[in-house]
Amino acid sequence: MRLLINVVICFLCCNLSLASDTYRAGVVSSIRSDPGRYVSYIKQAAKLNVDILVFPPPDESSFETMTSVSDDYDEVVKTLSEATKQARLYVVAHLYETVRCQNVNVTIRSNLVFDREGSIISEYRKPVNNITNCTSVETDFGVFKTDFNVTFGLLMEEDLVLRSPEAFKGLKNFVMTGTWTTEIPYLSASKFSSSWAFVNKANLVSPDGISDDTHMLMSGGLKFTDLYKRVGEDMAFKVPVVHLRKQRIFLGKDLPHYVTKPMNLEASRDGYEETVCHDSFCCEFYIKTRFVGSKSIDADYVLAAFRGTRYFGHGQHIGIESCAVFTNSSQKCFCSTENENNAIGLAFDKVTVIGNFTNGNSNYPIALSTGEQFEAKQFSFVSEFAGNTEQVVVELKFIESLTGFGIVSRDFSKDFVSVRDMESSYKNNFDIYDYIFHENVLEFFDYVWIRLRILIFVVSIYILEMI
Ligand X SMILES: *[C@@H]1O[C@H](CO)[C@@H](O)[C@H](O)[C@H]1NC(C)=O
Report the sign of the C-alpha dihedral through residues 214, 220, 221, 224, in that order: negative
Check: CB of residue 107 under 8 Å from CB of residue 96: yes
CB of 260 to ligand X, least distance (A): 4
Q: Which amino acid, one-letter code, is at 131? A: I
Which residues contact ligand X (rule: CB under 6 A)?
18, 98, 105, 126, 130, 132-133, 135, 138, 149, 252, 255, 260, 262, 282-284, 302, 328, 354-356, 386-387, 391
CB of 242 to ligand X, least distance (A): 22
Give the integer Cα–Cα distance in Å for 170 and 153. 10
Alpha helices (H) in 88-188, listed in sequence order: 159-162
Q: Judged by CB, which is closer to ligand X: 68, or 440? A: 68
Q: Judged by CB, which is closer to ligand X: 44, or 203? A: 203
Check: CB of residue 23 under 8 Å from CB of residue 219: no
CB of 351 to ligand X, least distance (A): 15
CB of 455 to ligand X, least distance (A): 39
H or E, element range at 462: helix 439-466
CB of 364 to ligand X, least distance (A): 17
Q: Judged by CB, which is closer to ligand X: 70, or 84? A: 70
Q: Judged by CB, which is closer to ligand X: 417, or 458? A: 417
| Cβ within 8 Å of residue 215, ≥6 positions away | 225, 226
DSSP string, 161-212: HHS-GGGGTT--EEEE------SSGGGSHHHHHHHHHHHHT-EEEETTEES-
Q: Judged by CB, which is closer to ligand X: 86, or 309? A: 309
Q: Judged by CB, which is closer to ligand X: 87, or 112? A: 112
Collapsed DSSP state (helix, strand, coil) of residue 404: strand
Q: Judged by CB, which is closer to ligand X: 123, or 138? A: 138
Q: Judged by CB, which is closer to ligand X: 234, or 375? A: 234
CB of 252 to ligand X, least distance (A): 6
Q: Judged by CB, which is closer to ligand X: 183, or 213? A: 183
CB of 162 to ligand X, least distance (A): 9
CB of 467 to ligand X, least distance (A): 49
Backbone angles phi, psi at 267, to 5 degrees: -65, -30
CB of 345 to ligand X, least distance (A): 18
CB of 123 to ligand X, least distance (A): 15
Q: What interhelical angle do 73-87 and 35-47 show, nearest 10?
A: 20
Q: Which of 321, 327, 408 is nearest to 369 (CA)?
A: 327
Q: Judged by CB, which is closer to ligand X: 162, or 216? A: 162
Check: CB of residue 334 under 8 Å from CB of residue 249: yes
* First and final C-alpha spacing in the chain: 49
What ranges make up the beta strands (E) of 241-388? 242-243, 259-262, 272-278, 281-291, 301-313, 316-327, 346-357, 363-369, 379-386
Q: What dihedral do alpha carbons 94, 98, 101, 104 form, nearest 10°?
A: 130
Give the integer Cα–Cα distance in Å for 63 and 314. 9
Give the integer Cα–Cα distance in Å for 385 and 356. 9
